[in-house]
Amino acid sequence: MTVNSRGDRALYQQVADIIRADIASGKLKAGENLPSEAQLSGTLGVGREAIRQALGVLRAEGLIVTERGFGSRVREAQQRRIVKLRRGDTVIARMPSEPERREMDLDQGVPLLVLTRADGSSELLAGDATALNA
Amino acid sequence: MTVNSRGDRALYQQVADIIRADIASGKLKAGENLPSEAQLSGTLGVGREAIRQALGVLRAEGLIVTERGFGSRVREAQQRRIVKLRRGDTVIARMPSEPERREMDLDQGVPLLVLTRADGSSELLAGDATALNA
DNA sequence: CCGCATTTGTACGTATGTATG
DNA sequence: TCATACATACGTACAAATGCG
């Protein structure tokens, strides 16, 4: 598995593809730490920015989480709470704004579910911790 | 409205806050073009990278879309198709992977809804174009 | 159709700040 | 205290797409 600067895809996309595949295949397991940016940079032979962009893609996909001063690790599947929908309830999905994300303490790449009950009341639900059931 | 390098928030977050507020207030209307990165850089007195990071935040929130060689504009609300949920249907939300995003031609910052019908069949729905109704 | 200016995308380097262990 | 690691932010350069004359 290596990157190719002559490929039609950007280096950082190729890096993201490699890591995503490693996660999907189980070569990188949930909760496991990724190599540091510097290590990935050296191993794959690309600059740190390409590595950081790749990790940014994977964070936006909700596949990894990164902690400053520590590193990145494969995000673990969240326990899902099942929310029963009743007749007349409606739901839409969207991404939280940054302030909302901090407020609700959500990881990057986690969508929000806006549940509006038939009576007009509404709730914000973390998309990775919620399963809807009609 | 200006940025402050001594603030406790990063410059790019401050820039994102300003533009987000301009969108929320209607000062920047749906479909309207944002100033170019170079213009924002000059106007706000920060480097291009801080501007690009700010725009990246807003893209991830689904607030703007960017076209290479053209610029960024405020994303317009999508017409939502209403999907009726029947008893036994379940739905979870997640972000698409980059390959899925390109495949389904989704903008950044648009979540995916995975609808599994009671009979076991499932569908992928664009979160910004779908409203669930139980 | 062609060339040009504009604009975003990619990728590198460098430096400094800040959190973790 | 200290090394490690990520975050922020500047600069530079070139590639690639768009729109216009």
| Closest amino acid to nucleotide C6 (CA–C1') | B69
Element (H, E) at A52: helix A48-60
Provide the pLDDT for residue A2. Answer: 79
Could you give the 3-state DSSP secondary structure of residue B16?
helix
CB contact under 8 A, A90 and B134: yes
CA distance linking residue A45 with residue A40, whole number of Å: 8
Three-class DSSP category at B15: helix
CA nearest B108 in A: which residue? Answer: A60
Q: A13-24: per-residue pLDDT in tens? A: 999 999 999 999
Q: From the list B13, B88, B110, which residue is nearest A98 (CB)?
A: B13
> What pLDDT, in 10s, does the model give residues B11-41?
999 999 999 999 999 999 999 999 999 999 9
Nearest Cα of chain A lies from the Cα of B45 at a distance, in angstroms, of: 23
B70 CB and strand D closer than 7 A: yes
Asked if B91 lies within 8 A of A132 by C-beta distance, the reply is yes
Closest amino acid to nucleotide C8 (CA–C1'): B68
Nearest to B73 by CA among B101, B46, B122, B34: B34
Average pLDDT for consecutive 10-residue bins of chain A (134 residues)? 76 97 96 96 96 98 97 97 97 97 96 98 97 96
B87 chain-A contacts, CB cut-off 8 A: 134
Nucleotide closest to residue A67 (CA–C1'):
D6
